[in-house]
A and B are shown apart, each in its own frame.
Chain A
Amino acid sequence: MTAAPKISVRGLRKSFGAKVVLDGLDLDVGVGESVVVIGGSGTGKSVMVKCIIGLMEPDAGSVKIDGQEVTGLKRSERERLMQKFGMLFQGSALFDSLRVWQNVAFGLIQGHGIGRDEAKAIAIKTLGAVGLGPEVAELWPAELSGGMQKRVGLARAIAAKPEIIIFDEPTTGLDPIMGDVINDLIIKCVRDLGATAVSITHDMASAHKIADRIAMIYKGRIIWQGRASTIDKSGNEYVEQFIHGRAEGPIQMEVRAL
């Protein structure tokens, strides 16, 4: 990675009361690169992406997007910056009071000021790109299966052609086949847009498939990072325990006797 990073995170700290979640986290993501952050539950993955995208203000540290410091931005500046981002939420987070096409077109209408008819046409085209026909556009989110909701969430994340896309547990709660479909769509969409992608997941099959680079977070810090193809030979005992899903190892769960 020789060029200036698209996203540069330095010394990120975040605590909730006495609980330290991020403890001086550093991470760089290059332009057009797909980085997957893996780690157990409660290690700070979600807090990290929320700090990067500005949904949460860190206690200390720096987040730079295209070299510009984005921590402590005013709300209006933050709203402008958000136009660079798209995000697929773990539970899709579709607006249940809006039809599918209105969900996909939401950012186009509200964030980019595109007219309703044009935005609807773009939304239907984007739904097609994630494998959903125009008949789905008029449905309500509650009428969709989990996999379809994920695809609509993906369509909403990419509709405005963002420069950076965040994927929060994109395959969680899906069957393996639908999970693989979502992985393929993520790869296709990121490549087609030339976007920079940051994903967080527990799913190693997904991580292997969508990542150029994988980073592992533990106790609020990145403890290992490398090319996706090298993770099986990382030589890091924490990474090896995590990718093989072993209970024995340096990562210990606190379990009390019955």
Chain B
Amino acid sequence: MAFLARVGRVFLGFLAAAGRLALFTLTALSHCVRPPIYVNLIFRQFVDIGYYSLPVVGLTAIFIGMVLALQLHTGFNRITGGESAIAQVVVLGMTRELGPVIAGLMVAGRIGAAIAAEVGTMRVTDQIDALSTLSTNPYKYLVVPRILAGIVALPALVLIADIIGVFGGFLVATYKFGFNPAAYLHNTADFLRRDDVISGLIKSSVFGFLIALMGCYTGYHSKGGAQGVGAATTYAVVSASVLILTFDYILSALLFSS
């Protein structure tokens, strides 16, 4: 009986948390389409999320592209003629899957944590209450700019990550394995479809939304002092990462079901 009660409590707690998150999401989304919209703040967040994440995302993308080409070369050696598919698999893997997921996870670590820490500190030092007393809606001032910037900045980052990742594969294939550069590029361009890139950008847009949402949600509801902010930061990164991988599967199933 005690075991069942414990399971029940955990389940009810989960439902309550899901309800709170759903309410927060709906409120934030409703404010995204109602004035005032703080364009300056959106731009500043876009620069923070997009521009300042470029080095880490670019560096990750080039190594992912390089290691992908390396692994495919050793793996495809077992199949007759398999090597010729390296360019196609690299570009397909980067645009559809690795670009959005790797960029999403890197940005979740960098920006999700920063948003949760900043908003969480504002919560525990009464700055969010101060916003309200100054006739400013905290959702509009803090949450909406971060969410809108996340939705726009992630696809821009992923587009660049795709190019850098494909270039990484190109470097390994041509310099290490002696592929013909022109043929490699021709195979890449020939094989790539617009839908491959667009599906990756749609995914990354959703990932950007999830990262900003979880950062704002955990920060907004953080309690206590430094420990509370630390817990919010951890929760923001972990939850955003898990949601990115979950939604990656769901979106892949939806986008490529045909």
**Contact residues of A with B, CB < 8 Å?**
50, 53-55, 75, 78-80, 82-83, 85-87, 89-91, 93-97, 106-107, 110-112, 156
The reply to whether A93 and B135 form a contact with Cβ atoms under 8 Å apart is no
Q: A53-B133, A110-B135, A156-B130 are in contact. List 4 more A-B contacts (CB 8 A).
A: A93-B125, A94-B127, A106-B136, A107-B136
The reply to whether B135 and A107 form a contact with Cβ atoms under 8 Å apart is yes
CA of A124 to CA of B253 in the docked complex: distance in angstroms? 58
CA of A75 to CA of B137 in the docked complex: distance in angstroms? 8
The reply to whether A111 and B132 form a contact with Cβ atoms under 8 Å apart is no
Q: List 20 A-B contacts (CB under 8 A).
A: A53-B133, A55-B133, A75-B137, A78-B132, A80-B135, A82-B132, A82-B133, A82-B135, A89-B126, A91-B125, A93-B129, A94-B130, A106-B136, A107-B134, A110-B134, A111-B134, A111-B135, A111-B136, A156-B130, A156-B134
In the complex, the chain A residue whose C-beta lies closest to that of B127 is A93
In the complex, the chain B residue whose C-beta lies closest to that of A54 is B132
Encode contact with A along B122-161: 1 for CB under 8 Å, 0 otherwise.
1001110110111111000100000000000000000000
CA of A94 to CA of B135 in the docked complex: distance in angstroms? 15
Contact residues on B (Cβ < 8 Å of other chain), bracket: 10 to 19
The reply to whether A89 and B129 form a contact with Cβ atoms under 8 Å apart is yes
CA of A55 to CA of B127 in the docked complex: distance in angstroms? 12
Q: Which of B94-138 contact A (CB under 8 A)?
A: 118, 122, 125-127, 129-130, 132-137
- Closest Cβ–Cβ distance, residue B235 to chain A (whole Å): 22
The reply to whether A90 and B126 form a contact with Cβ atoms under 8 Å apart is yes
CA of A69 to CA of B137 in the docked complex: distance in angstroms? 21
The reply to whether A79 and B137 form a contact with Cβ atoms under 8 Å apart is yes
Enumerate chain B residues within 8 angstroms of A50, measured Cβ to Cβ: 129
CA of A93 to CA of B134 in the docked complex: distance in angstroms? 12
Enumerate chain B residues within 8 angstroms of A87, measured Cβ to Cβ: 130, 133
- Closest Cβ–Cβ distance, residue A209 to chain B (whole Å): 24
Q: Which of B13-41 contact A (CB under 8 A)?
A: none
Enumerate chain A residues within 8 angstroms of B125, measured Cβ to Cβ: 91, 93
- Closest Cβ–Cβ distance, residue B134 to chain A (whole Å): 4
The reply to whether B134 and A106 form a contact with Cβ atoms under 8 Å apart is yes
Q: Which of B198-255 contact A (CB under 8 A)?
A: none
- Closest Cβ–Cβ distance, residue A93 to chain B (whole Å): 4
Enumerate chain B residues within 8 angstroms of A54, measured Cβ to Cβ: 132
- Contact residue among B122, B130, B136 (Cβ-Cβ distance under 8 Å from A89): B130
CA of A104 to CA of B130 in the docked complex: distance in angstroms? 12
Count chain A CB atoms within 10 A of each CB in B118, B125, B130, B141 and give the residue with the most.
Answer: B130
In the complex, the chain B residue whose C-beta lies closest to that of A108 is B134
CA of A86 to CA of B136 in the docked complex: distance in angstroms? 13
Enumerate chain B residues within 8 angstroms of A75, measured Cβ to Cβ: 137
In the complex, the chain A residue whose C-beta lies closest to that of B130 is A93
- Closest Cβ–Cβ distance, residue A46 to chain B (whole Å): 10
Enumerate chain B residues within 8 angstroms of A53, measured Cβ to Cβ: 133
Given known A-B contacts A91-B125, A93-B125, A85 and B130 have beta carbons under 8 A apart: no
Enumerate chain B residues within 8 angstroms of A91, measured Cβ to Cβ: 125-126
Enumerate chain B residues within 8 angstroms of A107, measured Cβ to Cβ: 133-136
The reply to whether A95 and B135 form a contact with Cβ atoms under 8 Å apart is no
In the complex, the chain A residue whose C-beta lies closest to that of B44 is A97
